[in-house]
Amino acid sequence: MEKIHLLMSSDNNYVQHLGVTLISVFENTEVPDNFHVTVLDGGIFPEQKNLLKGIAQKYDAAINFREVKLDNPEKFIVNGHVSIAAYYRVLLPLIYGPEVRKAIYLDCDVIVNHDLNELFKVDLNGFVVGAVKELSNKRMVELGFPDKPYFNSGVLLINYQEWLEQNTTQEVLDFIFANPEKLVYWDQDALNACLVDKWMELDYQWNYLREFVEINKNWKNRKKFIPHIVHFSNNTKPWHYYSRNPYDYLYYKYLGLSPWKGFHPLGKNFRKVVAKNVKLTLREGGILKGM
């Protein structure tokens, strides 16, 4: 059976969340020992690497760490909760050899609830990547492609051979350096600009964004309808106490199987406990329609 190459990226601040994502991957596949995980290392402490190695060892999966250094790091736009590690995923030729055919990339703020082996088997039909389309193409309008859809890069199925043949890494880097004023969502914007008509749309369940939660009103059926991959794609994450995503409980389900199971949500205090519970009660009762 072909090895499933899984690519993730983290600095030391996101190690816990990367580890929880990995556990969700391994818990929901019949072939955890067939996974080969590569973590792009943005400064992970040795003791934290050992915890991640322990997770992989528990499931008989392979894991390795690659330190990646960007040339001219000052040219890369970073802000908010994003670090320069967000750009590492475009440097695929530094990570994989030509023998690799396909790879799956996952952000660290996703929870996998379905066998990734099924995603890995999807035929990309010559496209460079498979991705999930966002509801709005506003960013494509702003990038100069008003009639094209915009994909979210938090989950990517990568046709590595096509990526190499089309020199995608260099094209993306050239766009980043030439158009810093156009980048709002960092390398995701650059990938969309460079892969116009080169990406294949995946079923939305493979990257269930916060905007899908809002449209589909998943509050009451969050235990009945569980997407293949939940992506906590806004700035508020399940490890923040004030998060009100109906799928936050999935993060804590897999956190409980991790070395960080004693973690308590950030920002918890009496006022926020009361406010959150009141809002959740009103929302589940259909009184509040917004998120």
pLDDT given at position 277: 59
Q: What one-character-per-residue DSSP string does 78-134 give?
A: --TT--GGGGGGG-GGGT--TT--EEEEE-TTEEE-S-HHHHHT---TT-SEEEEEP
Per-residue pLDDT of the chain (291 residues; tens, 9 = 90+): 789 999 999 989 999 999 999 999 999 999 999 999 999 998 899 999 999 999 999 999 999 999 877 666 555 555 554 556 667 778 887 789 888 999 999 999 999 999 999 999 999 999 999 999 999 999 999 999 999 999 999 999 999 999 999 999 999 988 988 888 888 887 899 999 999 999 999 999 999 999 999 898 888 889 999 999 999 999 899 999 989 899 999 999 999 999 999 998 877 665 555 555 555 565 565 555 544
pLDDT given at position 285: 57
pLDDT given at position 32: 97
- CB atoms inside a 10 Å sphere around CB 99: 6
Angle at 72 between CA 70 and CA 76, to 5 degrees: 80
pLDDT given at position 291: 46
**Is the CATH number of domain 4-207 3.40.50.300?**
no
pLDDT given at position 286: 55
pTM of the model: 0.89
- Residue ranges of domains in the chain: 4-207
Residue 234 phi/psi, 5-degree rounding, is -100, -175
| Pairing of β 129-133 and β 151-159 | antiparallel
pLDDT given at position 267: 73
pLDDT given at position 187: 87
